[in-house]
């Protein structure tokens, strides 16, 4: 191998057109210093604009064929943000899997705010001769600029605006023209390191007596400090001041005498105050937990890649199993990542980990400041922290010693990213575990159909916790047919059954959770009399009502129809748009139960930092009797006095415009029911619905996951949905509508003809091009093309899309038209 003299760099140009590796020459001074994964500054394009990039490959002269005209790397940055080889592999994998750009992938892997930005800075031209300050009148502002520059050496444009005002541009360009000042571009990032002042002893502490003998007796404060510092040797400045009850001035005096040194030390920001959290102890596992634990432990000990699906009913104690696995992994000096659906919605599990593992846990959540996030990232990277807990993006935590990834509530849709790249966390975790010989554990009381299907096929090893950890029975579930309520004259949102049960439980000092799914609120059209729902004839999913045009529309295939005035099924006039919000329910509950304390848990009441935790804490202390909420009340809550859960309407989820509607319903009902009767008291659940015979509702009543799975998987097969079929959504977007439509049509035709030509591809369905549901976002027109095909054909289809949409993009797509790929959409909009 020759000397490394070249490198291939991914450049942050901000456009998709340049999404490839560019070769640069490495200047001698950087040979050896430049590494795979280094962040570099390179000149780019005709104007040699300086841009940021990452080195993906190093090459010797023998490996580079055409070296003519290659440019040199301008600078290698040592700002800690490097990519490891594993991370580069991950970028390549993501680009290949999700058809995203290199930089899209890189953005997932580096802390936010570290991407370099550029700003203009000004300085005095050093070659200037003579006096700078002009004495002529009318030059005030120019003189002011010069003065500012003389005082500061270098000043940014913003600072000049602050000093001079918005009209400073005029004066700047005059000074530039006269060559009195110069302008250049400087890189900066939004993240500043935080420093703390530390005091160090600056003499041999053993000779303290000699030092003190030279001090005047009157300087008793200084003497006290010297004694203290000689003992501790090194201490944070604010601590000395506090401990010795002194002031900074006294320390300054000592610093002047060269007896102490005050130095700046980089400080990590820690968002959680660990000292405030009391520690818990390890629980002894019951035998079901023990079997699951022992199985997974065996693989962990062998450092083998393996995927487990831990199917444990609600309250079976999955968290305790997770924690004991994690404990073993970190004892081996490896790192573990624990993923939860939305960190702010799951304070209980986070708290459990903090209580068990203390400062060895990094909690990554969306409310961290850029600086806090950056510091956590570095601590993880330096292996100073072994446990990472966070939502979806925490899967990208820079663990170089990964031993275990746990995905709790693996069925949750929040694991699918709706931003670019539209990755699925389970896929990424799987890739990482394979690369690291680590173990992946997916846990849920209601596994997704796809995961359970994989477990059946042996791709995941299935482990089950069939009982609650304390052998308590699962709650008793009753279904109330709301059509009958209407028939018998009750038009209210509460059935008589639910009202009576609430009264009983509240009278015996228990707590009630009322669940109302408000997401997807008021979007479908149904008949209150017979339960009929408007559905798409092609896709078997509910049509979505669009107020503006007064039509009902299919989100998948674009089919639309007008809304009937009377029910096509039973001719009643009770056909309407469905839904009422949590606020309305709260008002109603207050009217029905005025003497009980009610609280609402939804996006509105929890937007303030810490408010969710507060509500949950006070519910735990039984300061709230009735908790009314959206999805937030379905997850993870573990409180002994909750004995009744009321589901106000199973129908809202059942009629989501999504082929997963039944699955989501089963999951939500099972999860929310699982909040009841977890400890000493038995639990009851009441589900109100207009579709009491729906199989998702019935299997959740019977706590029968397998029954639900068997029915659902048959329907998936019949209607060609995942896991048997896959859907790809291609969004074509741009500011010019005509170009968007033109491009979408061309792409569609090309994809149609290529897939038609390709032998062995059967049953492909191409839908579109249609305007996307959200037809316009931020001034961009959006059209979509949907492909539905057998899952076994995925690689072939991906190849075709990549060939047409990326490699030969310019043939089919107008300039200024962009593409977004969703290779496994959860929502189509």
Ligand X SMILES: Nc1ncnc2c1ncn2[C@@H]1O[C@H](COP(=O)(O)OP(=O)(O)OP(=O)(O)O)[C@@H](O)[C@H]1O
Q: Where along the sequence are the contacts to ligand X (CB under 6 A)?
A: 283-286, 289, 312, 314-320, 445, 469, 636, 638, 674
Q: Considering beta carbons, is residue 351 or 569 the nearer one to Zn ion?
A: 569
Q: Considering beta carbons, is residue 154 or 537 the nearer one to Zn ion?
A: 537
Shortest distance, CB of residue 619 to ligand X, whole angstroms?
Answer: 15
Q: Considering beta carbons, is residue 284 or 547 the nearer one to ligand X?
A: 284
Give the integer Cα–Cα distance in Å for 724 and 706.
18
Q: Which member of 121, 145, 539, 673 binds Zn ion (CB under 5 A)?
A: 539
Q: Considering beta carbons, is residue 316 or 694 the nearer one to ligand X?
A: 316
Q: Which member of 529, 606, 634, 665 binds Zn ion (CB under 5 A)?
A: 529
The answer to whether 530 is annotated as binding is yes
As to burial, measured by CB atoms within 10 angstroms (0-12 exposed, 13-18 middle, 19+ buried), residue 138 is exposed
As to burial, measured by CB atoms within 10 angstroms (0-12 exposed, 13-18 middle, 19+ buried), residue 540 is middle
The answer to whether 91 is annotated as binding is no
Q: Considering beta carbons, is residue 166 or 287 the nearer one to ligand X?
A: 287
Among Zn ion, ligand X, none, what does residue 376 contact (CB within 5–8 Å per kind)?
A: none
Shortest distance, CB of residue 774 to Zn ion, whole angstroms?
Answer: 17
Give the integer Cα–Cα distance in Å for 534 and 545.
10
Q: How many chain residues are in contact with Zn ion, going by CB under 5 A?
A: 15
Among ligand X, Zn ion, none, what does residue 570 contact (CB within 5–8 Å per kind)?
A: Zn ion
Give the integer Cα–Cα distance in Å for 371 and 365.
13
- Which of helix, strand or coil describes residue 310? strand
**The tokens 């209607």 sit on which residue?**
719
- Residue 537 CA to chain centroid, in angstroms? 36
- Residue 483 CA to chain centroid, in angstroms? 41
CB of 651 closer than 8 Å to CB of 526: yes
Shortest distance, CB of residue 773 to Zn ion, whole angstroms?
Answer: 12
Among ligand X, Zn ion, none, what does residue 445 contact (CB within 5–8 Å per kind)?
A: ligand X
- Which of helix, strand or coil describes residue 770? strand
Q: Which of 700, 692, 684 is nearest to 649 (CA)?
A: 692
Q: Considering beta carbons, is residue 371 or 677 the nearer one to ligand X?
A: 677
CA-based diameter of the chain, in Å? Answer: 105
The answer to whether 720 is annotated as binding is no
Q: Which member of 36, 232, 291, 530 binds Zn ion (CB under 5 A)?
A: 530
Residues in contact with 404: Cβ distance below 8 Å, sequence separation at least 6, in sequence order: 300, 325, 326, 329, 334, 336, 337, 438, 439, 440, 441
Q: Considering beta carbons, is residue 240 or 310 the nearer one to ligand X?
A: 310
User: What's the token pair of residue 443?
Assistant: 């846990």
**The tokens 């539905």 sit on which residue?**
788
Shortest distance, CB of residue 658 to ligand X, whole angstroms?
Answer: 23
Shortest distance, CB of residue 356 to ligand X, whole angstroms?
Answer: 11
Contact stretch for Zn ion (CB under 5 A) within 272-280, 497-505, 566-574, 662-670: 566-574
Give the integer Cα–Cα distance in Å for 641 and 622.
8
Q: Considering beta carbons, is residue 605 or 634 the nearer one to ligand X?
A: 634
570 binds Zn ion (CB under 5 A): yes
**The tokens 């010019």 sit on which residue?**
736
The answer to whether 168 is annotated as binding is no
| Angle formed by the axes of helices 737-757 and 794-801, nearest 10° | 140
Return the HEC string of 69-127.
Answer: CCCECCEEECCCCCCCHHHHHHHHHHHHHHCCCHHHHHHHHCCCCCCCEEEEEEEECCC
What's the start-to-end Cα distance of the chain, in Å?
51
Q: Which member of 187, 559, 719, 826 binds Zn ion (CB under 5 A)?
A: 559
Shortest distance, CB of residue 637 to ligand X, whole angstroms?
Answer: 8
Cα-Cα-Cα-Cα torsion 196, 197, 203, 204, nearest 10 degrees, comes to -30
Among ligand X, Zn ion, none, what does residue 554 contact (CB within 5–8 Å per kind)?
A: Zn ion
Q: Considering beta carbons, is residue 543 or 612 the nearer one to Zn ion?
A: 543
Backbone angles phi, psi at 432, to 5 degrees: -65, -45
Shortest distance, CB of residue 468 to ligand X, whole angstroms?
Answer: 7
Among Zn ion, ligand X, none, what does residue 317 contact (CB within 5–8 Å per kind)?
A: ligand X
Full strand arrangement of the beta sheet holding 725-734: 765-777, 780-790, 725-734, 817-822
Q: Considering beta carbons, is residue 690 or 705 the nearer one to Zn ion?
A: 690
Among ligand X, Zn ion, none, what does residue 346 contact (CB within 5–8 Å per kind)?
A: none
Shortest distance, CB of residue 738 to ligand X, whole angstroms?
Answer: 51
How many degrees, rounded to 5, is the angle at CA 674 between CA 672 and CA 678?
135
Give the integer Cα–Cα distance in Å for 406 and 427.
13
Q: Which member of 84, 156, 295, 538 binds Zn ion (CB under 5 A)?
A: 538
Full strand arrangement of the beta sheet holding 439-444: 361-364, 387-390, 335-339, 402-408, 439-444, 306-312, 461-465
User: What's the token pair of residue 684?
Assistant: 């009851």
Shortest distance, CB of residue 753 to ligand X, whole angstroms?
Answer: 49
Among ligand X, Zn ion, none, what does residue 569 contact (CB within 5–8 Å per kind)?
A: Zn ion
536 binds Zn ion (CB under 5 A): yes
525 binds Zn ion (CB under 5 A): no
As to burial, measured by CB atoms within 10 angstroms (0-12 exposed, 13-18 middle, 19+ buried), residue 267 is middle
Q: Considering beta carbons, is residue 321 or 364 the nearer one to ligand X?
A: 321
569 binds Zn ion (CB under 5 A): yes
Residues in contact with 796: Cβ distance below 8 Å, sequence separation at least 6, in sequence order: 758, 760, 761
Shortest distance, CB of residue 158 to ligand X, whole angstroms?
Answer: 49
Shortest distance, CB of residue 280 to ligand X, whole angstroms?
Answer: 9
Q: Considering beta carbons, is residue 532 or 812 the nearer one to Zn ion?
A: 532
Q: Considering beta carbons, is residue 274 or 282 the nearer one to ligand X?
A: 282
Query: Residues 468-507 vs Zn ion: string with x where CB under 5 A?
Result: ----------------------------------------
Q: Which member of 105, 463, 516, 557 binds Zn ion (CB under 5 A)?
A: 557
Q: Which member of 81, 554, 633, 656 binds Zn ion (CB under 5 A)?
A: 554
CB of 458 closer than 8 Å to CB of 325: no
**How long a stretch of residues is the chain?**
829
Shortest distance, CB of residue 755 to Zn ion, whole angstroms?
Answer: 20
Shortest distance, CB of residue 290 to ligand X, whole angstroms?
Answer: 9
Contact stretch for Zn ion (CB under 5 A) within 294-302, 314-322, 434-442, 521-529: 521-529
Shortest distance, CB of residue 291 to ligand X, whole angstroms?
Answer: 13
Among Zn ion, ligand X, none, what does residue 636 contact (CB within 5–8 Å per kind)?
A: ligand X
Q: Which helix (H) or strand (E) holds 251?
A: helix 248-256
User: What's the token pair of residue 610?
Assistant: 């810490």
527 binds Zn ion (CB under 5 A): yes
- Ranked by CB distance to ligand X, the top (closest) residue is 317
Q: Considering beta carbons, is residue 535 or 599 the nearer one to Zn ion?
A: 535
Question: Which residues of the chain form contacts with Zn ion (CB under 5 A)?
Answer: 527, 529-530, 532, 536, 538-539, 554, 556-557, 559, 567, 569-570, 572
Which residue positions form the known binding site? 527, 530, 536, 539, 554, 557, 567, 570
Positions at the binding site for Zn(2+): 527, 530, 536, 539, 554, 557, 567, 570
């Amino acid at each position: 191998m020759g000397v490394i003299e070249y490198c291939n760099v991914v450049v942050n140009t901000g456009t998709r057109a340049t999404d490839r590796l560019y070769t640069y020459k490495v200047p001698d001074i950087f040979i050896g210093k430049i590494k795979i994964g280094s962040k570099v500054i390179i000149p780019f394009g005709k104007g040699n604009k300086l841009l940021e990039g990452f080195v993906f490959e190093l090459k010797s002269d023998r490996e580079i064929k055409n070296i003519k005209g290659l440019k040199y790397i301008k600078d290698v940055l040592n700002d800690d943000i490097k990519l490891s080889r594993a991370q580069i592999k991950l970028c390549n994998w993501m680009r290949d899997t999700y058809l995203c750009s290199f930089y899209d992938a890189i953005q997932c892997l580096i802390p936010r705010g570290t991407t370099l930005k550029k700003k203009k800075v000004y300085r005095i031209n050093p070659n200037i001769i003579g006096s700078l300050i002009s004495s002529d009148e009318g030059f005030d502002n120019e003189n002011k600029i010069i003065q500012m520059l003389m005082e500061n050496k270098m000043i940014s444009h913003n600072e000049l605006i602050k000093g001079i005002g918005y009209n400073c541009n005029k004066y700047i360009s005059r000074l530039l023209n006269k060559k009195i000042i110069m302008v250049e571009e400087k890189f900066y990032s939004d993240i500043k390191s935080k420093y703390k002042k530390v005091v160090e002893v600056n003499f041999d502490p053993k000779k303290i007596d000699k030092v003190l003998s030279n001090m005047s007796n009157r300087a008793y404060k200084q003497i006290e400090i010297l004694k203290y510092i000689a003992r501790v040797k090194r201490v944070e400045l604010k601590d000395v001041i506090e401990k010795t009850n002194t002031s900074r001035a006294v320390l300054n005096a000592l610093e002047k005498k060269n007896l102490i040194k005050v130095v700046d030390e980089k400080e990590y920001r820690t968002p959680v105050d660990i000292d405030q959290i009391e520690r818990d102890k390890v629980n002894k596992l019951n035998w079901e937990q023990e079997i699951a634990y022992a199985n997974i432990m065996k693989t962990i000990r062998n450092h083998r890649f393996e995927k487990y699906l831990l199917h444990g009913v609600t309250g079976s104690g999955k968290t305790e199993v997770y924690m004991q696995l994690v404990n073993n992994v970190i004892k081996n000096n490896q790192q573990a990542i624990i993923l939860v659906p939305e960190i702010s919605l799951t304070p209980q599990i986070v708290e459990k980990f903090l209580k068990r593992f203390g400062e060895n846990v990094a909690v990554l959540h969306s409310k961290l400041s850029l600086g806090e996030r950056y510091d956590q990232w570095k601590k993880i990277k330096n292996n100073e922290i072994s446990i990472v807990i966070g939502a979806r993006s925490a899967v990208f935590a820079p663990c170089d010693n990964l031993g275990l990834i746990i995905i709790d509530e693996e069925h949750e849709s929040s694991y699918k990213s709706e931003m670019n790249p539209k990755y699925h966390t389970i896929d990424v975790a799987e890739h990482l575990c394979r690369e690291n010989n680590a173990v992946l554990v997916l846990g849920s009381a209601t596994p997704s159909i796809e995961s359970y299907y994989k477990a059946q096929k042996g791709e995941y090893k299935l482990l089950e916790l069939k009982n609650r950890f304390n052998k308590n029975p699962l709650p008793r579930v009753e279904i109330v047919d709301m059509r009958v309520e209407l028939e018998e004259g009750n038009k209210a949102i509460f059935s008589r059954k639910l009202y009576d049960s609430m009264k009983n439980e509240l009278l015996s000092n228990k707590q009630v959770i009322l669940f109302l799914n408000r997401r997807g609120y008021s979007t479908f059209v149904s008949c209150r009399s017979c339960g009929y729902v408007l559905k798409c004839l092609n896709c078997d999913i509910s049509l979505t009502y669009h107020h503006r045009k007064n039509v009902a529309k299919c989100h998948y295939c674009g089919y639309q129809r007008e809304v009937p005035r009377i029910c096509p099924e039973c001719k009643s006039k009770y056909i309407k748009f469905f839904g009422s919000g949590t606020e309305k329910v709260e008002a109603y509950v207050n009217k029905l139960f005025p003497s009980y304390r009610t609280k609402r848990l939804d996006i509105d009441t929890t937007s303030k930092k810490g408010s969710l935790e507060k509500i949950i804490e006070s519910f735990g202390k039984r300061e709230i009797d009735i908790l009314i909420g959206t999805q937030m009340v379905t997850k993870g809550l573990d409180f002994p006095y909750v004995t009744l859960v009321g589901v106000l309407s199973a129908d809202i989820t059942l009629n989501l415009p999504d082929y997963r509607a039944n699955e989501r319903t089963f999951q939500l009902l099972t999860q929310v029911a699982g909040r009841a009767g977890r400890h000493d008291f038995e639990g009851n659940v009441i589900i109100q619905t207009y579709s009491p015979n729906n199989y998702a509702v019935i299997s959740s009543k019977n706590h029968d996951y397998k029954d639900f799975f068997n029915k659902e998987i048959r329907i998936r097969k019949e209607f060609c949905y995942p896991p048997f079929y896959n859907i790809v959504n291609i969004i074509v977007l741009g500011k010019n509508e005509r170009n968007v439509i033109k491009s979408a049509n061309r792409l569609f035709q090309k994809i149609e003809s290529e897939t038609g030509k390709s032998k062995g591809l059967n049953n492909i369905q191409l839908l579109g091009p249609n305007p996307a549901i959200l037809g316009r976002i931020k001034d961009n027109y959006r059209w979509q093309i949907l492909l539905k095909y057998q899952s076994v054909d995925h690689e072939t289809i991906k190849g075709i899309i990549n060939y047409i949409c990326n490699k030969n993009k310019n043939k089919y797509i107008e300039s200024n038209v962009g593409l977004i790929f969703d290779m496994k959409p959860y929502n189509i909009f």
